Amino acid sequence: MGVIGVQLVVTMVMASVIQKIIPHYSFARWLLCSGSLRWYQHPTEDELRNLAGKQKGQKRKDRKYNGHIEGKPLTIPKDIDLQLETKGITEVDTLALHYFPEFQWLVDFTVAATAVYLITELYYCAVQPSREMNISVVWCLLVLAFVIKTLFSITAHYFKVEEGGERSLCITFAFFFFVKAMAILIVTENYLEFGLEAGFANFSDSAQQFLDHQGLESQGPISKFSFKLILALLCSLIGAFLTFPGLRLAQMHLDALNLTTDRFIQTLLHINFLSPLIMVLLWVKPITKDYIMNPTLGKESVPLMTEQAYDTLRLWVIILMCMLRLAIQ
């Protein structure tokens, strides 16, 4: 066996790519500056005055006649024919965005983690090592850590506002998601195929074997109730973090629907907006799995696919939803 494994070499190469190449060829910067996002240039005061038919006179009497008195703001009717000029977002415009460095790092690191995951999976399929740790799991955990850190920074920004209901809204959504998570965790595995029971059993067995190996007597690291309570608290925290990003996403969805009249594009926008719900429903057995795997055709139920094929279908649906979201940006 070599001193440096294949996975470690892939990690070192990807770290070099992140340090040397990504700052010059950033996927996150390309997403914002590729031309799909545009901003409206605000009109000047002279343009507004000309469209409203109010000429700026040289004398105080003329300015009063045209509706522009010294010390009084210029009033413009709402029904003027104002055509705003649009310009594409450039790299210079991104410098003014408050959370653009965090967004750029998160997206670029996610791309690098995805590449590491794909290479590692190909390596495992080809070689099938038995005593090596899958290092792509570490990269995925780092992506989740960076996502939570960025969401925490955004939520903390709303909590710093003294006036307004942002803080109360985040707390309300946190309690709402906590109650919702507790209600979902009560449902058995016969309806929700989340694998919590099997995961908790594997975690308890592994922890018990580790404690026995260390010579410690214990009935288990944690009870099932405490395990589900921690999951509910984690769900409430994530729900509070996603409060305002979810509201911004809904507003962006409405704006995109108002800006397009193509029925096909509107259908894709609706599918993109409902994609989290569609992916969650794939793990609800009475709604999707039972009807896809064992549909009732007459008096007999004919299975359409196996368990492994259905798991593959889930993964492909997730990939297609992610590609759809990237395509309509």
Q: What is the tens place of the pLDDT at every residue in 205-225?
A: 877 777 777 776 666 677 788
Rg for the chain (alpha carbons), in Å? 28
* 2 within domain boundaries: no
Residue 201, pLDDT above cutoff 60: yes
Q: If you average pLDDT over each of 122-126, 186-190, 191-195, 215-219, which comes out highest?
A: 122-126
Residues 103 and 235 placed together within one structural domain of the fold: yes
> What does the pLDDT read at residue 64?
52
Which of 199, 216, 240 represents a domain boundary (last residue)?
240
Verdict on whether the full-model pTM lies above 0.85: no
Contact 150, 106 (CB under 8 A): yes
Residues 153 and 216 in one domain: yes
Mean of all residue pLDDT scores within the chain: 82
Portion of the chain with pLDDT greater than 90, in percent: 18
Q: Can you give the pLDDT at residue 1?
A: 42
Contact 195, 188 (CB under 8 A): no
Is residue 191 located within the same domain as residue 117?
A: yes
pLDDT tens, 157-186? 888 877 767 888 888 999 999 999 998 888
Percent of the chain with pLDDT over 70: 88
Last residue of one domain, picked from the residues 240, 270, 294 = 240
Residues 234 and 254 in one domain: no
Query: Is the same domain home to 199 and 121?
Result: yes
pLDDT at res. 60? 53
pLDDT at 70 over 60: no
pLDDT at 87: 80
Q: Does 13 fall in a domain? A: no
Residue 329 pLDDT > 70, yes or no?
no
- Same-domain pairing of 233 and 197: yes
- Is 266 within the bounds of a domain? yes
Quick check: is 170 in a domain? yes
Provide the pLDDT for residue 3: 46
More confident residue, 281 or 61: 281
Q: How far apart are CA 250 and CA 272, in angstroms?
A: 11
- Residue 228 counted as domain residue: yes
Mean pLDDT, range 221-233, rounded to an integer = 84
50: domain range?
Answer: 43-83
Domain assignment present for 16 = no
Mean pLDDT of 37-50: 78
pLDDT at 301 over 90: no
Helix (H) or strand (E) holding 209: helix 196-213
Provide the sign of the torsion angle of the four alpha carbons 16, 19, 20, 25, taken in this order.
positive
Among 240, 265, 285, give the residue marking a domain's end.
Answer: 240
Is residue 226, in this structure, part of any structural domain at all?
Answer: yes
**Could you give the number of structural domains in the chain?**
3
DSSP per-residue letters across 105-144: HHHHHHHHHHHHHHHHHHHHHHH--SSS--THHHHHHHHH
259 to 83, 157, 267: CA distances (angstroms): 15, 30, 14
- Rounded to whole angstroms, the Cα distance separating 230 from 94 reads 38
Are 253 and 310 contained in the same domain? yes
Q: Do both 283 and 300 map to the same domain?
A: yes
Distance of alpha carbon 213 from alpha carbon 215, whole angstroms: 5
Residues 194 and 309 in one domain: no
Determine the pLDDT at residue 175. Answer: 93
Residue 211 lies in a domain: yes
What confidence category does residue 320 fall into, taking pLDDT thresholds of 50, 70 and 90? very high
| Segment 136-162 mean pLDDT | 88
Same-domain status, 214 and 113:
yes
Q: Are residues 112 and 216 in the same domain?
A: yes
Question: Same structural domain for residues 222 and 178?
Answer: yes
Higher pLDDT, 132 or 137: 137
Q: Which residues pair with 85 in a beta bridge?
A: 41
What does the pLDDT read at residue 4? 57
